Structure 1
């Protein structure tokens, strides 16, 4: 990149601090709709910029998979920004915390730019862009379009004037003449076209029922992505468009905590975690120990957190893992255990898919059966109606699964849901011993009760 860009990014490093505000520059990459190439181009931009600069990646919404690719590309943890689950202040605080030592931040949007909860803007890319006062780069797939693309872009620019659509990247360009037919009408509207990227079939990423493959599965050619962006996108102009987001500096937690040892299941079967939630647990007194049920690891800990993932793809290995029987033993002994979605499936008695059935931990009186269709995809609010060792206060979360969990008659459920499906009858959160597991994923919650339960277990 040219010296002009280098000087510009030197300026990005000089983040100013005034009156409790931090001045941090970034861009939001939005799309006209799902499937327009937003994810591929976002990753390409991250890869191209990371060659010389410290890029802090973010993902709008409750996604676990795209952030795994961001993290691998930028060598910095990607952080989810969700105005429903985290609230406006939570989004601003997370952005300030993780962007503090970055040169530039790149926020990948979700779905179409204005798609939020129901008919509202909440949890949409546009809402996050407004909350952070960041410029938007709009990705438009122009396949089978020419002048009509200008009408589409004009609509996105004018729909909500409070969203700063600073430029457009054209995706799926068929030829130089096709680019001219699309570019000229858009630029006649006074809107910058930052790049025109041809369709490259080899860059399509494989997917499964919960989305794309995770980064550790090695399905993405990062070098090809980087080269594509460097050849077809004007990075000089894009960097100049990135402007400041004045957000409040996060308060430092000076409280001294009695640390507890919290085991976090982490491997190919359990890999769905929000980075900011793990950091929040650390700040609340948890010393995190990552362990792999697939490798039969048994950590010395005072509590467990088993996140979502793909236990159904590894059911045979989990059935025969020493970790599985150990979890049953420590659960019966009263160790606090929190499970989400895949963690719920693992903590049940059995996991079935077709004619195959595998014994799981046997902590919860239920069996999970995989389905061929999506059973739930929604934001949820949960009221805690049954005492448990993990949650005391209402939570906001997200539900997304291709399975059903059938409970025995004596099963106890802790949550009454608003929105979502849950385990049965609008209820979620199975409770047994000091274990709580649900289909609901949460991006943040008050861990005070969970930490105290772990401390009591450690003392006994």
Structure 2
């Protein structure tokens, strides 16, 4: 094991809606436009902010979360994807010290310390002046092992406002103010629910990235920020023996290229890149499917339906009855399907939105309702306690959930295989809805923290192909 140099910075805030994504996207695009090699990361379980960072950097963005992923895997992922980059930008989530519990476990601050990463605090200063210094000082004193190396003040009212805040913060805390962004005239990145809308759903998304990059150019001392990143401590580089391991199952199946499809469009876009890569690493051929353009399910051995916002695009989604019928027929013939959150909704009978019922695929005998508030939000953990096609009893699934939908209590009995020990789940602290070779869940997993998932997908896909070949020979 050795130590390597990786220029890096953590963009943190005091809470949600503080401008972290705007600043992070702006920095990525600004440095990229200047010819620097950049990499973007997002702390925490998140798909939408990551999608904005991906648009800004024009490359895959990795999530780093110590609840979902073991610490050694986080370090390896960061090194793997940050090596050879001039700067890595990590966007924090929520407030700097907000985490799993009162001690701040799994917080942005804990991730920054794990990666030896200097922190730049984005501070919204709307309708405050000297109090801003108290907020920064509180963060500095809260954890003296944390390196808060700079502050970017956001939503300034004017020059006098900036002058008072800059002088107060620097005099009282000793932390330099390296940027001062004024309040913009309009909402650059529109919000929905508890966060931003996805860039795929926003026609002005690219323009929003350009506006953020211009704001960085005009109002942030980028040379100072880059020097802070370059002054990051050395980071330990080490490998896990498991990196070199390949199962005999993987080697044998590489010869026949198992095909696994996944919905990939503006409706279903919630996939951690590592989940798809973990399948590809096992020799799987990944087949993109549009939930609204493709009328017939392609020839595949299994299907993965990730999360998204089917409820926000319900008319477009439900207009494609042909694909729903095609999938339902394949499920009845034994096609393995793994569906998360929005994917689970797709498999249901219907969803009621604002009093109107919309018919879905009808694969699972459940009906969904939409709530005005989150029905499940945050980290979750479940244990397998019932037979199912994918995981053995006793398997622990660390995950996260975020959904405004819920299953109508009048739904008939459905078989479940997960006992939810933390979180809400689907029905009465249960989840993992099973029908034939379908596994539907509200819980999102990350493949780096739940490595059984990719092997399970491959196993089921291989069994289905074998059975299908056997059936064809008998005809």
TM-score, length basis structure 2: 0.89
- Residues 67-86 of structure 1 mapped to structure 2, 5 A cutoff: 67-86=50-69
Aligned with 1:226 (options 213, 225, 229): 213
SS, match of residue 24 in structure 1: coil
TM-fit CA distance, 1:362: 1.6
**Partner residue, 1:346:** 346
- Name the structure with the higher strand share: 1
208-217 or 103-112, which moves further after superposition? 208-217
Does structure 1 retain, via aligned residues, the 8 Å contact 2:340–2:443?
yes
TM-fit CA distance, 1:225: 1.3
**Partner residue, 1:405:** 407
Q: Does 1:428 align with 2:431?
A: yes
- Residues 57-136 of structure 1 mapped to structure 2, 5 A cutoff: 57-136=40-119
SS, match of residue 67 in structure 1: helix
CA distance in 2, matches of 1:224, 1:378: 31
TM-fit CA distance, 1:205: 2.0
Q: Does 1:237 align with 2:198?
A: no
Mind listing any 5+ residue stretches in structure 1 that lack a counterpart? 1-18
Does structure 2 retain, via aligned residues, the 8 Å contact 1:385–1:414?
yes
Does structure 2 retain, via aligned residues, the 8 Å contact 1:96–1:248?
yes
CA distance in 2, matches of 1:369, 1:210: 19
**Partner residue, 1:456:** 463
Q: Does 1:326 align with 2:329?
A: no
Does structure 1 retain, via aligned residues, the 8 Å contact 2:26–2:56?
no
Q: Does 1:47 align with 2:47?
A: no
TM-score, length basis structure 1: 0.92
TM-fit CA distance, 1:245: 5.0
TM-fit CA distance, 1:194: 0.7
Aligned with 2:177 (options 193, 206, 214): 193
CA distance in 2, matches of 1:316, 1:173: 41
**Partner residue, 1:10:** none
**Partner residue, 1:32:** 14
SS, match of residue 442 in structure 1: coil
SS, match of residue 448 in structure 1: helix
TM-fit CA distance, 1:168: 0.8
TM-fit CA distance, 1:214: 1.1
TM-fit CA distance, 1:410: 3.0
Deviations, residues 421-458 of structure 1 (Å, cap 9, x unaligned): 11111111110000001111112222222211111111
Mind listing any 5+ residue stretches in structure 2 that lack a counterpart? 468-475
TM-fit CA distance, 1:320: 3.7
- Residues 130-279 of structure 1 mapped to structure 2, 5 A cutoff: 130-188=113-171, 189-209=173-193, 211-216=195-200, 217-220=202-205, 221-242=208-229, 243-250=232-239, 252-253=243-244, 255=246, 257=251, 258=253, 259-279=257-277
TM-fit CA distance, 1:285: 3.4
Instruction: Tell me the C-alpha RMSD between the 2 structures.
Output: 1.8
SS, match of residue 56 in structure 1: strand
